[in-house]
Amino acid sequence: SAAKKVTVVGSGNWGCAIAKIIAKNCARHDEFQNEVTMWMFEEQVEHRGIKRKLSEVFNESKENVKYLPGKVLPDNIRAEPDLKKAAEGADIYVWVLPHQFVPRTVSSMGPVKEGAMSVSLIKGGLELEGGKMGLCSDVLRKLLKHNVSVLMGANVANEVADEQFCEATLGTDAPEKDQNLLVKLFDCATFRVRAVSDIAGVELCGALKNVVALGAGFCDGLQFGSNTKAAIIRIGLEEMTTFIRHFHPSVKDSTFLESCGVADLITTCFGGRNRKCAEAFVKAGGKGWVDIEKELLGGQKLQGTLTAQEIWPIIEAHKLTSRLPLFTTIYQIAFEGKDPKSIVSLSPAIEDAN
C-alpha cells in the first residue's frame, strides 16, 4: 500500500524532540513518506536581534529556537503554521500539544482522510463525563472519528533530543498491522517502544504522574533528601494505582511497570518541569503558578497543575479523598494555601487506605 503521510500536530519541547525520531524513521522506512509535516503554532520571536516568525526561522535552520533551542532537527521536517494545510491528507496524526489547546485545535483543522489514525503523546486532559472518566484520547476519538492510540513514557524531551537511551509505551487497540506501523514510526535504538493493549492505563499514568511530580518538587523546595522523595514517589504510585483502578478496573498491573508507569514517574520527579516549578512555588512562597510558569519555562507549559485541578472535582465527587491523601494534599498546597510541609504528614489517611 502507498507510503503513509505523517503529520505531527504540535511543535513544543516534546513535539520537536519526538519529531526528530519520527523524521529519521520516515526517512529509513518505506512505509512512510519521507517528508514529515509539523504544525507550528505561529508566533513572533526575537532571533539574532530581528523579529521573525518562528516557523520561518525553523524552516531555514531546522531549529525551534524558542521551544527546543540548540537542537537541529532533520531536514525532512517542514513546519507548517496553517493548521488546515498541515492536517490535510495525513494518514497518521501525532498529537503533541499541551492538553488545554486540544479541543480548539481539533475543531479548527478541517476534515480528515478516511482510514487515518492518531496517536496522542499528550499527558493530561482528564474530566468526568456522565460519571465516567474522560481522557484526552477520548476527546480526539470523538472529534476525529478514527482509531486513537497513545504513547507515554519516561521521556524528558531534551534528553530524547540528545538521543540518550529511553523507553516508551504504546497503548493501542488498533489492528495488528497498524500497531506494527506505529511501533515502526517511533521505535529506534535509543527510543525503544513496547505496545500494550491498555490505553486508559497508559494514558492515565502519563497524566497523573505530573501531579505526583508537584509533590516531589514541594519536597525539593523544602530541601528534603532522596529518602523523602522516594517515599513521595512510592505513595504517588500507590495513589495512581488506586485512582486508575477505581475508574478503570480492567487496568493491567503490568502497565504500572512499563515505561509509562514507574519509569515516567521517576524521571518526572527528578528531571521534569512540574518538579522544577513546584520547587520554586515553595521557595518563592506566595508567587502564583502563572508567574512561575512564565519565568521558569519561557513559554513551555505546565501540565501537572491543570491536571491537579481537573482531578480534584472527580476525587471529591467519588469520595476518594481519604484514599488519595497525597493527591488531596498536593491540590490543597497548590491551590488552597495549605502549608507545603503537610506533604510529609499524610500518615493517618495512608493507613486508612490499606
Could you give the residue numbers annotated as active site?
A: 209
Query: Is 260 a binder of ligand 13P (CB under 6 A)?
Result: no
* Residues linked to residue 92 through DSSP beta bridges, in sequence order: 6, 117
Q: What backbone torsions phi and psi does residue 10 show, to the nearest 5 degrees?
A: 125, 145
Q: Which of 33, 59, 300, 309 binds ligand NAD (CB under 6 A)?
A: 300
Q: Which of 4, 5, 6, 11 binds ligand NAD (CB under 6 A)?
A: 11
Query: Is 272 a binder of ligand 13P (CB under 6 A)?
Result: yes
Closest to 214 in 3D by CA, of 134, 272, 163: 272
Q: Which does 124 bind (CB under 5 to 8 A by kind): ligand NAD, ligand 13P, none?
A: ligand NAD
Query: Is 274 a binder of ligand 13P (CB under 6 A)?
Result: yes
In the complex, what is the shortest distance from the CB of residue 115 to ligand 13P, in angstroms, rounded to a whole number? 30
220's grid cell: 525539593
Count residues near ligand 13P (CB under 6 A).
13
Closest to 209 in 3D by CA, of 307, 341, 134: 307
Contacts of 158 (CB under 8 A, 6+ apart): 13, 17, 68, 71
Window 171 to 210, contacts with ligand 13P (CB under 6 A):
210
CA atoms within 13 A on the CB side of 67: 28
Cβ(236)–Cβ(274) below 8 Å: no
Amino acid at position 8, single letter: V
Q: Of the listed pieces 2-10, 43-51, 81-89, 269-277, which binds ligand 13P according to CB under 6 A? A: 269-277
In the complex, what is the shortest distance from the CB of residue 154 to ligand 13P, in angstroms, rounded to a whole number? 5
Query: Is 259 a binder of ligand NAD (CB under 6 A)?
Result: no
126, exposed or middle or buried, with CB in 10 Å at 0-12, 13-18, 19+? Answer: buried
Q: Which parts of this chain interact with ligand NAD (CB under 6 A)?
A: 10-15, 41, 67, 96-99, 101, 105, 121-124, 155-157, 299-301, 303
